[in-house]
Structure 1
Amino acid sequence: MLIMASVDNLTPRRFAPAFPNVEANRYLLDYVKVHHPEFYPGGALSSQPACDGGGVHYTGLYYACCVVAGNIWHPMEGRDSTKYEEYDHPFLSTSRDPSDREARLTIPDDEIIRPAPIGKAYFFPVPSNTNHRRYAIVPSFDHRIPPDGVKIKIPAPWLSLDPLHDDPNSNNSYRSYRECFATLASSSPQRPSPQDLICCLTKEYLSVDFCRVIPKSEERWFIGNDMQKYSTSNDQHNGPLNRICNVMPFRLDALGYFGQGHLSLVPKLDKSTGLYTLPTHAVRYPKELLNPRGRLQFHDIFHNYLLYPHPIKWIPVEYLFTRFAWTLFSDQVMTLLNDAKGVTFPPAPS
């Protein structure tokens, strides 16, 4: 005998959130582009959607250019300085001329760089370069050499991430989650089941799996640059890129976007505390999201959220910075080489 459920016991349908208003949020669909002084007009060193309230946070934009230009960041971060020698280091400018000091971009109090006004453009000049406006770039992630920690150190925003930062509203389930990772980071050979974890972005248990911070596709680069020396876990049998210190749990939709490089993790300064946080950052919109509403919904759901537990608790800062750099070498972000079809680059170092 088939027993029908009472209408009174049915769960009310939960509707998806309303689509964002395109006209009211069109400023989020614009792009902030920074060009190489020698190759303009043309593609950009870095082209990122204006997801941070109609612009891009300065930290992510400045270091994106520095990475593509070959790890040439400076502690002053190209900010305004009264010191004459500061002009020997790269900075954002509205002029292609590296000697034009008056054109140095003034960084707003909110640290957000808006798109260049109509008729103008942003450039990334390197005054110390002997060839005036021309300087070399790194053509692909395979060609990139990571900071060695001696001559070139990891940038300060990444090094200053606070490992004690955590969710102030954490509950018992989060405490057990942190205990789980504490065990995994030890010499325990047990690998967690995805069903035992929650997404560190959405805080949901459903459809969660692991995503590598440094992708499996970059294993040759990883081994060739001896990145294993930064590993903080001993689960040797899982392979160098499958260790606990290189994985993060995400809900499957977030995992797809993070795994494909649409989402990055970028330190942003919290001026109320003077500390850097590490939220998600939409470095590029998925190509399949052609509808503006889809792109705005992607922004609303995935951009600028803190992850809990804080990734710095179990992932080496060298891996987090590598992850940031990896997302930049996309034909949607570094568009400078999009017209260089047929150009042959020297092979990446073995």
Structure 2
Amino acid sequence: MAVHIKAPHEAAVPFSPSSRPPSVEIRHPDYDAGHALLFRFPAFDDGIEYNIVWTACCIVLGNAWTRAEADRPYLSLTQTRGSPALVVPADGILSVGAYYLHDPIFATDEESPYPITPNFHHWEFPHNNVPSLWLESHGIQPNPTRLYATSPGNFRDKVLVRDESCRMTLSRGGVEQAYWVPISADDWFNDNMMERYHSEDTSIGVRDLSNTILLRADVHKIWDSKDLVMHMLSAHDKQEKLELWHNRQPHTLYGIRPEFVFARFAWTIFNNELFRIFNSRRPQGWKIRVREDDPKAETRKHVIQHAFKRADIPLAPFQQEKKHKRTPETIGDLMSPTDYDDYVENPNYWFYSVSRGEMVRWSDEEGESDGDYDSDSPRGLQEGSFE
């Protein structure tokens, strides 16, 4: 009896040449045209949801939705300070085009552009002030009874028992635990005292069940590329991802804290393709709002500084503490979030390649490195490290 060979799989999405989609641009009104672009949101749906754009703008202005209503930022079609605010569209969709983000607090300050938060590390989580839209359950269910009936031993098993399959594809093979606030942001997590949202007393840093989601490995990689938070937020070479994942409702989510989902959104918007103001170099520099305080202090201090290029942005206080240490956290600076998650789970699979200047993973199947082995590797390969 002959073995039946199945035909090759068809492409998940038929290939067709694609061009950059139209966009919604958000500009800083106090800078010249060549240096004013704050955000460029791809408008895959002939626009983008107004609340996504406005919340992102408020984040870079220091959580400005927490201000009194008269002092909150607004969008306008014109650049002049004090310009009338755009009327929020009835359908909630901001049309393709260019808009200016005005900050009323600085409306009468003719000498100083308003400052912006330059990256995720300098952003402070708004405890007790998360926008109400993000605190709604959106179908998130309590942890299923099976989680408590089986008493899974380790952390990874808990995620597997709770979710059972990839929450985007229902695949049961090749799945991985992913994090809403990624492991690479563990220092930020601790500095912002996010442990108050832990679901378990034994949790450490980002490693809490309510900060996880089970994803298939390829989806996990997209998830950590800052392209996607159930909505595609970047446009470069994304045709297949757009067709498969844009505005795609996940399967039932269990036990997730909405505060971690909101932090994930903030982490995602600080990427060079979406948040673009530092992609050029302005001779006069930009005004930035950065953290400058004792990382152990209970109060947070923000100061206004100048940055002439991205490299001028100072480290946040909690980053400065570890600047000269070679720890798993600083090793994370050399790796993508997905690879770093794997490093934390399987540290003996990785070594540092001096010649490449990067962390390299050993091949699981062949017991050989993906590249050259360096004798001064901080870890090397230890006997019995492969399962």
**Is the TM value for this pair above 0.5?**
yes
Say yes or no: does 1:106 pair with 2:87. yes
Partner of 1:211: 178
Q: How far 1:299 moved relative to its partner?
A: 0.5
Partner of 1:334: 275
Q: How far 1:234 moved relative to its partner?
A: 3.3
What's the TM-score, normalizing by structure 1?
A: 0.72
Alignment of 1:190-269 (within 5 A): 190-193=154-157, 197-236=164-203, 239-264=204-229
Q: How far 1:248 moved relative to its partner?
A: 0.8
Q: In the superposition, relative to structure 1, how do residues 192 and 233 fare at CA in structure 2: closer, same or farther (>3 Å)?
A: same
Alignment of 1:128-207 (within 5 A): 128-129=105-106, 130-131=108-109, 134-149=113-128, 153-163=129-139, 178-181=144-147, 189-193=153-157, 197-207=164-174
Say yes or no: does 1:4 pair with 2:2. yes
Q: In the superposition, relative to structure 1, how do residues 40 and 122 fare at CA in structure 2: closer, same or farther (>3 Å)?
A: farther
Q: In the superposition, relative to structure 1, how do residues 303 and 235 fare at CA in structure 2: closer, same or farther (>3 Å)?
A: farther
Say yes or no: does 1:345 pair with 2:313. yes
SS in 1 for 2:74: coil
SS in 2 for 1:217: helix
Determine the C-alpha separation between the residues in 2 that align with 1:224 and 1:108.
38
Say yes or no: does 1:282 pair with 2:232. yes
Contact 1:44 1:335 in 2 (8 A): yes
Determine the C-alpha separation between the residues in 1 that align with 2:91 and 2:15.
24
Matched to 1:143, the amino acid is H
Matched to 1:259, the amino acid is D
Q: In the superposition, relative to structure 1, how do residues 247 and 183 fare at CA in structure 2: closer, same or farther (>3 Å)?
A: farther
Say yes or no: does 1:122 pair with 2:117. no
Partner of 1:303: 246
Deviations 1:129-153 (A, max 9, x none): 252572111111111111031xxx0
SS in 2 for 1:254: helix
Deviations 1:176-203 (A, max 9, x none): x94445669xx86443447762110112
Q: Name stretches of at least 5 consecutive residues in structure 2 with no aligned partner.
A: 282-308, 319-387
What's the TM-score, normalizing by structure 2?
A: 0.66
Partner of 1:46: 39
Over the residues paired in the alignment, what is the CA RMSD in angstroms? 2.9
Q: Name stretches of at least 5 consecutive residues in structure 1 with no aligned partner.
A: 76-84, 167-176, 265-279, 290-294
Partner of 2:293: none
Aligned residues: 285
Matched to 2:267, the amino acid is W
Matched to 1:145, the amino acid is E
Determine the C-alpha separation between the residues in 2 that align with 1:135 and 1:183.
54
Contact 2:182 2:206 in 1 (8 A): yes
Q: How far 1:255 moved relative to its partner?
A: 0.3
Q: How far 1:164 moved relative to its partner?
A: 5.8
Matched to 1:315, the amino acid is I
SS in 2 for 1:320: helix
Partner of 1:174: none
Determine the C-alpha separation between the residues in 2 that align with 1:298 and 1:90.
33
Q: 2:60 aligns with which of 45, 64, 68?
A: 68
Contact 1:35 1:43 in 2 (8 A): yes
Q: In the superposition, relative to structure 1, how do residues 131 and 20 fare at CA in structure 2: closer, same or farther (>3 Å)?
A: farther
Q: In the superposition, relative to structure 1, how do residues 30 and 131 fare at CA in structure 2: closer, same or farther (>3 Å)?
A: same
Q: Relative contact order (alpha carbons < 8 A, sep ≥ 6): 1 or 2 greater?
A: 1
Determine the C-alpha separation between the residues in 2 that align with 1:233 and 1:142.
25
SS in 1 for 2:10: coil
Deviations 1:34-71 (A, max 9, x none): 011112412522222112x1221111111011101111
Determine the C-alpha separation between the residues in 2 that align with 1:19 and 1:182.
43
Contact 1:232 1:315 in 2 (8 A): no
What is the aligned-residue identity percentage?
Answer: 25
SS in 2 for 1:106: coil
Contact 2:165 2:215 in 1 (8 A): yes
Determine the C-alpha separation between the residues in 1 that align with 2:275 and 2:154.
40
Contact 1:195 1:205 in 2 (8 A): no
Q: How far 1:163 moved relative to its partner?
A: 4.9
Partner of 1:16: 11
Q: In the superposition, relative to structure 1, how do residues 181 and 328 fare at CA in structure 2: closer, same or farther (>3 Å)?
A: farther
SS in 1 for 2:168: coil
Matched to 1:96, the amino acid is Q
